Amino acid sequence: MKLLDILTYPDPRLRTVAKKVNVFDKSLKNLSENMLYTMYEAEGIGLAASQVDVHIRLIVMDLSESKDNPMVFVNPEVEILENKSHLSYREGCLSVPGFYEEITRPDKIKLTWQDIEGNQHSTYPEGLLTVCIQHEIDHLEGKLMVDYVSRLKRERLKKKAAK
């Protein structure tokens, strides 16, 4: 198992749009295992490949209290089912350390993805999965939590990060 370096804001590499995974091989499995290890070590509940400077559509997550439920999502896609139903959650991000902010996101979504073998799945997420999967898919699009806050707040964060 290898501990991977996590990119932090405002590193421009975090803005890269990730590419679709087409090959489900041993190296994909290895990367997902190293990402899970890195996520647990950093005490995060999710990690996108973009955050470790690998720009493919791969996400790992563990939302369990006991940290024994590793999940891997390849090529995840979210469809918003209701435009008017939202949920607010105080989010944090391993790529923006020390920054926590209430973010509002769609609440009624359908999630489709592939597992590490390439098999297709779908579900209608509830609770924290709804929030976290959208946070992680944002990373794959090169989008960060800081993009949801005011310019003033974002500029303050950038200055703080430069120190």
The footprint of ligand GNR (CB under 6 A) covers 44-48, 51, 89, 91-95, 131-132, 135-136, 139
Q: Which does 47 bind (CB under 5 to 8 A by kind): ligand GNR, Ni ion, none?
A: ligand GNR
Could you give the angle at the alpha carbon of 26 between the alpha carbons of 22 and 27, nearest 5°?
75
To Ni ion, the closest distance from the beta carbon of 144 in angstroms equals 7
To ligand GNR, the closest distance from the beta carbon of 65 in angstroms equals 14
Q: Is 136 a catalytic residue?
A: yes
Closest CA to 142 of 19, 35, 60: 19
Q: What contacts 142, CB < 8 A, 6 or more positions away? A: 14, 15, 16, 17, 18, 50
Q: Is 56 in the site for Ni ion (CB under 5 A)?
A: no
Q: Is 93 in the site for Ni ion (CB under 5 A)?
A: yes
- Secondary structure E strands in the chain: 46-48, 58-61, 71-80, 86-92, 100-106, 109-114, 120-123
Sign, CA dihedral 138-59-89-106, equals positive
Residue number with CB closer to ligand GNR (32 or 51): 51
Select which of 33, 101, 102, 136 is catalytic.
Answer: 136
To ligand GNR, the closest distance from the beta carbon of 131 in angstroms equals 5
Known catalytic residues are: 136
Q: Give the interface with Ni ion as residue ranges (CB under 5 A).
A: 93
